[in-house]
């Protein structure tokens, strides 16, 4: 007790920092513990090959989606449409790049933008039609799913060798031995974190999630910002779709549904509150990593997939419960 008192008086900056960041320190510690556990059980788990291909690469798509979703959830909203939006963006980009021969860079850009547009549509439904985010994005989730199937004619778009460089988006190595996909995730996370913590849109994200009515009465154009925030989340979804197609070498209209829940789980494990107003990008990334480390580790332990699901469920409960206990202790919630 006595040392927390000192901290609050601002006498010890490092301790204050540690205290403020304790949520993420603990999350990171659990990630390390899980990692060490699997390494002891099966040393191959810690091999760079497994870490880069088995863990990092499988975190990229969900991780990118989860970064965007962190913004949305901090506003007190939710976006259920990101999974099927991924499929929609994937098939459109596939058609453009593979079918019409669009340049790779243009393809990436178009993919990101379509994701952003889908986010903006969600934002408009929420602000102009005043639909609750759950309903609005449930509707766009269905619509995107249908559109993906229609555009693709129910068939996956395969990227052939003519499309040079598309596979390198995710699997190339700008940094030797470090897959580009993972690089994209980390750069995306850093950008996201800067936007969330250091810019005006990030500040309004927190404000809206803390108290929308008070924010509006303070003269903030809440509706416009909500549209922008869903749009920003959509940009990340677009990027996730691009990486997904690059990694698989195909754009499948049926792949994506269910990703939204994994992304939301990563956000929640990372300590972001579903009630809005609180959350961090680094927490989200740790959350996403915890999930892929677990799944990868359990797979290496040859545990059946069914059990992997059960354990993921338990981890979500433990993570959120643990975080609540901590926050109650520090007086962050009562």
Partner 1 sequence: MATTQLLSLTGVSKEFPGVKALKNVHFDLDKGEVHAIVGENGAGKSTLMKILSGIYKKDTGDIVYLGKSVNVSSPLEAQKLGISIIHQELNLMPDLTVAENIFIGREDRRKGRIFLDNRKLNKATKALLEELDLVLDPKQKVGELTIAKQQMVEIAKAVSYRGEVIIMDEPTSSLTPAETQALFKIIRSLKAAGKGVVYISHRLEELSQITDRITVIRDGEYVKTLNTPETSIPEVIALMVGRKVDQDQRPTGRELSNEVVLKVEGISDSRLLSDVSFELRKGEILGFAGLMGAGRTELARALIGADPKTAGKIYLRGKEVKIKSPSDAVKSGIGYLSEDRKKYGLLLIQNLTFNTILSSIPAFSNKFGFLKTKPAGSITRDAIKQLSIRTPSENQYVKNLSGGNQQKVVISKWLTRDCDILIFDEPTRGIDVGAKDEIYKLLTKLASEGKSIIMISSELPEILRMSDRIAVMCEGKLTGIIDNKDANQNKIMQYATKFRD
Residue bearing tokens 């993919």: 111
Residue 332: CB minimum distance to partner 1, A? 7
Helix (H, G, I), strand (E, B) or coil at 250: strand
Residue 326: CB minimum distance to partner 1, A? 13
User: Residue 278 binds which entry of ligand ATP, partner 1, none, with Cβ cut-offs from 5 to 8 Å by kind?
Assistant: partner 1
User: Residue 135 binds which entry of partner 1, ligand ATP, none, with Cβ cut-offs from 5 to 8 Å by kind?
Assistant: none
- The CA distance from 190 to 86, in Å, is 22
Residue 82: CB minimum distance to partner 1, A? 24
Residue 15: CB minimum distance to partner 1, A? 12
Interacting residue ranges for partner 1, rule: CB under 8 A: 1, 4-5, 7-10, 198-201, 203-204, 206-207, 210-211, 213-221, 277-278, 330-332
**Judged by CB, which is closer to partner 1: 1, or 161?**
1
Q: Does 1 bind ligand ATP (CB under 6 A)?
A: no
Residue 331: CB minimum distance to ligand ATP, A? 5
User: Residue 201 binds which entry of partner 1, ligand ATP, none, with Cβ cut-offs from 5 to 8 Å by kind?
Assistant: partner 1
User: Residue 204 binds which entry of ligand ATP, partner 1, none, with Cβ cut-offs from 5 to 8 Å by kind?
Assistant: partner 1
Q: Does 331 bind ligand ATP (CB under 6 A)?
A: yes
Helix (H, G, I), strand (E, B) or coil at 80: coil
H/E segment holding residue 157: strand 157-158
Question: What tokens does 286 get?
Answer: 């740790």
User: Residue 221 binds which entry of ligand ATP, partner 1, none, with Cβ cut-offs from 5 to 8 Å by kind?
Assistant: partner 1
H/E segment holding residue 213: helix 212-217
- The CA distance from 121 to 162, in Å, is 34
Residue 267: CB minimum distance to partner 1, A? 17
- The CA distance from 170 to 249, in Å, is 10
- The CA distance from 152 to 306, in Å, is 31
- The CA distance from 136 to 139, in Å, is 5
User: Residue 157 binds which entry of ligand ATP, partner 1, none, with Cβ cut-offs from 5 to 8 Å by kind?
Assistant: none
Burial class (CB within 10 angstroms; exposed 0-12, middle 13-18, buried 19+) of 259: buried
Count the site residues for ligand ATP by CB under 6 A.
2
**Judged by CB, which is closer to partner 1: 155, or 221?**
221
Residue bearing tokens 């549509």: 121
Residues 6+ apart with CB under 8 A from 129: 136
- With CB atoms as reference, the residue minimizing the distance to ligand ATP is 331
- The CA distance from 212 to 132, in Å, is 14
User: Residue 149 binds which entry of partner 1, ligand ATP, none, with Cβ cut-offs from 5 to 8 Å by kind?
Assistant: none
Residues 6+ apart with CB under 8 A from 210: 276, 277
Residues 182-241 that bind ligand ATP (CB under 6 A): none
Residues of this chain that interact with ligand ATP (CB under 6 A) are 331, 334
């Amino acid at each position: 007790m006595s040392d927390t008192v000192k901290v609050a008086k601002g006498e010890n900056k490092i301790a204050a920092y540690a205290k403020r960041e304790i949520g993420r320190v603990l999350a990171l510690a659990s990630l390390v513990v899980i990692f060490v556990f699997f390494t002891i059980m099966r040393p191959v788990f810690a091999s760079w090959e497994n870490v880069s291909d088995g863990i990092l690469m499988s975190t990229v798509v969900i991780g990118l989606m989860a970064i965007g979703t962190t913004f949305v959830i901090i506003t007190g909203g939710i976006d259920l449409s990101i999974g099927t939006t991924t499929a929609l963006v994937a098939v459109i980009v596939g058609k453009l790049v593979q079918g019409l021969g669009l340049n790779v860079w243009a393809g990436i850009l178009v993919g990101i933008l379509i994701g952003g547009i889908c986010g903006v549509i969600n934002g408009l439904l929420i602000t102009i039609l005043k639909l609750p985010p759950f309903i609005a994005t449930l509707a766009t989730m269905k619509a995107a799913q249908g559109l993906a199937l229609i555009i693709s004619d129910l068939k996956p778009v395969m990227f052939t060798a003519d499309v040079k460089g598309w596979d390198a988006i995710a699997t190339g190595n700008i940094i030797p031995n470090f897959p580009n996909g993972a690089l994209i995730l980390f750069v995306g996370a850093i950008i996201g974190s800067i936007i969330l913590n250091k810019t005006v849109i990030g500040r309004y994200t927190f404000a809206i999630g803390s108290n929308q009515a008070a924010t509006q009465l303070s003269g903030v154009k809440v509706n416009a910002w909500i549209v922008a925030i869903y749009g920003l989340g959509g940009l990340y979804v677009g990027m996730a779709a691009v990486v997904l197609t690059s990694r698989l070498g195909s754009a499948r209209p049926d792949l994506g549904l269910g990703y939204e829940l994994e992304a939301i789980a990563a956000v929640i494990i990372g300590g972001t509150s579903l009630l809005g107003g609180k959350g961090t990008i680094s927490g989200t990334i740790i959350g996403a990593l915890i999930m892929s480390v677990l799944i990868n580790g359990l797979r290496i332990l040859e545990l059946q997939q069914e059990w992997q699901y059960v354990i993921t469920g338990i981890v979500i409960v433990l993570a959120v419960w643990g975080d609540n206990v901590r926050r109650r202790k520090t007086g962050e919630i009562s």
